[in-house]
Amino acid sequence: MAPLLLFLLMFCGGIAVALQPSINGRLAEHVGTVTSSCISFAIGTFALLAVVLCGGRGADFRGIAGANWWELTGGLLGAFFVTLTIVVVPRLGTASAMAATIAAQLMTGLVLDHFGLFGFRTIPVDGKRALGVILLLAGAGLVFRR
């Protein structure tokens, strides 16, 4: 896939991530915080299962036996994040919650890239990348309102 198309797809993913906490927060008003998070993950799981089963290659979960334990923690991290946004967004607002999230994601991504963690390629921190993180942190501070 072309890099521009990948960027645009991630941009759309960012829109989805910004919408999700508000939608889940509204659901939480009816069913509670953790139940809302559970419902969100259950619906996502069913949707992904349908994609896997209809994707032409069929479901092949046998490879899980060869995975390291920590490679299975993504769902836990996702559940933590989704539940946290359900709690935070109604109190701080979507923009403040997303500003903190995006700033943390970029800082973490910079560290992961710099050290080539998880076996991915190494992309050293340079002045431009460091300045980008600093400016994003400053922007997140400006968006956060008390």
pLDDT tens-place string over residues 109-137: 999 999 999 989 999 999 999 999 999 99
Per-residue confidence (pLDDT) for residue 79, from 0 to 100: 93
Per-residue confidence (pLDDT) for residue 56, from 0 to 100: 65
- Residue 135 forms part of a structural domain: yes
Per-residue confidence (pLDDT) for residue 19, from 0 to 100: 92
pTM, two decimals, is 0.81
Do 27 and 83 lie in one domain? The reply is yes
Do 76 and 103 lie in one domain? The reply is no
CA-CA distance, 47 to 128, in Å (whole number)? 39
Amino acid identity of residue 14, one-letter, is: G
- Residue 53 forms part of a structural domain: yes
Do 97 and 135 lie in one domain? The reply is yes
Per-residue confidence (pLDDT) for residue 30, from 0 to 100: 97
- The residue written with tokens 């797809």 in the block is 9
- Residue 138 forms part of a structural domain: yes
Q: Which long-range contacts link 75-80 to residues 24+ away (Cβ below 8 Å)?
A: 75/41, 78/41, 79/37, 79/41
- Residue 83 forms part of a structural domain: yes
> pLDDT tens across 43-98, in order?
999 999 888 888 867 677 888 899 999 999 999 999 999 999 999 999 998 999 99
Q: Within a 13 Å sphere around the CA of 128, how many CA atoms are in the beta-carbon half?
A: 2
| Parent domain of 41 | 21-63+70-91
Do 28 and 52 lie in one domain? The reply is yes
Per-residue confidence (pLDDT) for residue 58, from 0 to 100: 64
